Homo-oligomer: A and B are copies of this chain.
């Protein structure tokens, strides 16, 4: 997450709108998938060149053009021309370090989102997903081919739910909903890790515990960084008066908005929990120091006076009357025992034992 902005420096000095891919090079060749559907039909095909699409453009139905892989600059220039996209939009699509945002260009709405994925026990990764919502068409762009859109394609092809009956804006909603739902999975994984950490905190705290707390904290910061602009973007969509968004669809965007708020709430709760765990970790260290010091003090306090006493009767003075008495040794041993017992009683009173 930290390294995204670095790639920016590649572009310094170029004109804005210059198309240079900024980001990791996942796949060399972009894969273009064209889906077309309305209430009565559904077709899906992979096309090798955007020129193939030109003839299809004005046919019937809603068009969903998905492009996986953002390296092929020439392809994006052609797409830009074909759909009349602003150069800055194209630049943003292929620069994979965008904050989530929504921009209304009149003829189309441009949306950038961040899709988090991260299997259990893995680091948190995120890809940029761009969506262009135009009149009767959706363009979607991903960094690499993942299975993000499979469930939506499935719903369209099998005519599940309302998706075939609604317009392109509803399709946009379905895509965004999918991405927002992925946050819930990420949160579940995080919760599991936090629970493990809590158990650790009770059983044994090692310096590694502290590091885990900070790694989780950083992941939450990363999530948060994309969540607040996401919330803003979805709120803009919801309150937008663009003719591209049907009034009946607005309530669905509102629903996604509610989910985003719930996610943010959970992230904040996790942050509070981690802060609490940090407090517990730090005071555990203090408590342990206290315990160590108590042991040291008890030992020293018992044995120092005794050793001193033994030392006294180890002195080699000629005239030490006690040395001569028959019961001296046993008296001294008894005194030592009494001193030790008194010390122990003192510690018991102090509740150190």
Chain A contacts to B: CB under 8 angstroms: 1-3, 5-6, 8-9, 11-18, 86, 88, 91-92, 97-99, 101, 103, 151, 155, 160-163, 173-174, 177-178, 181-182, 184-185, 187-188, 191, 204, 207, 210-211, 214, 217-218, 221-222, 225, 251-252, 254-255, 258-259, 261-263, 265-266, 269, 272-273, 276, 278-290, 292-297, 299-301, 303-308, 310-320, 322-329, 332-333, 336, 351-352
Which of B17, B163, B178, B300 is A162 in contact with, Cβ under 8 Å?
B17
Which chain B residue has the least Cβ–Cβ distance from A152?
Answer: B13
Determine the chain B residues whose CB is within 8 A of the CB of A207 once the complex forms: 283-284, 287
Determine the chain B residues whose CB is within 8 A of the CB of A163 once the complex forms: 15
Instruction: Taking A292-B297, A313-B316, A317-B323 as given, write out 12 further A-B residue pairs in contact, using a Cβ cutoff of 8 Å, ordered by the A residue number.
Output: A1-B269, A5-B263, A6-B188, A12-B178, A88-B251, A88-B254, A98-B262, A207-B287, A285-B286, A289-B293, A310-B315, A317-B332
Which of B286, B296, B316 is A282 in contact with, Cβ under 8 Å?
B286
A8 to B186 Cα, complex, angstroms = 12
A353 to B8 Cα, complex, angstroms = 46
Closest Cβ–Cβ distance, residue A5 to chain B (whole Å):
5
Closest Cβ–Cβ distance, residue A132 to chain B (whole Å):
15
**Selected A-B contacts with CB under 8 Å, 22 pairs:** A3-B191, A12-B151, A12-B181, A15-B162, A16-B173, A92-B258, A99-B261, A103-B254, A211-B280, A217-B272, A217-B276, A218-B272, A288-B290, A293-B293, A293-B297, A295-B301, A296-B301, A310-B312, A311-B311, A313-B316, A316-B323, A319-B329
A265 to B283 Cα, complex, angstroms = 29
Which chain B residue has the least Cβ–Cβ distance from A8?
Answer: B184
* Number of identical protomers: 5
Determine the chain B residues whose CB is within 8 A of the CB of A263 once the complex forms: 5
Q: Which 6 A-B pairs have the closest CB atoms?
A: A15-B161, A310-B311, A313-B315, A13-B151, A303-B304, A317-B329
Determine the chain B residues whose CB is within 8 A of the CB of A13 once the complex forms: 151, 178, 181
* A273 B218 Cβ-Cβ under 8 A: yes
A182 to B56 Cα, complex, angstroms = 45
Which of B3, B280, B319 is A214 in contact with, Cβ under 8 Å?
B280
* B329 A315 Cβ-Cβ under 8 A: yes
A214 to B216 Cα, complex, angstroms = 19
* B311 A307 Cβ-Cβ under 8 A: yes
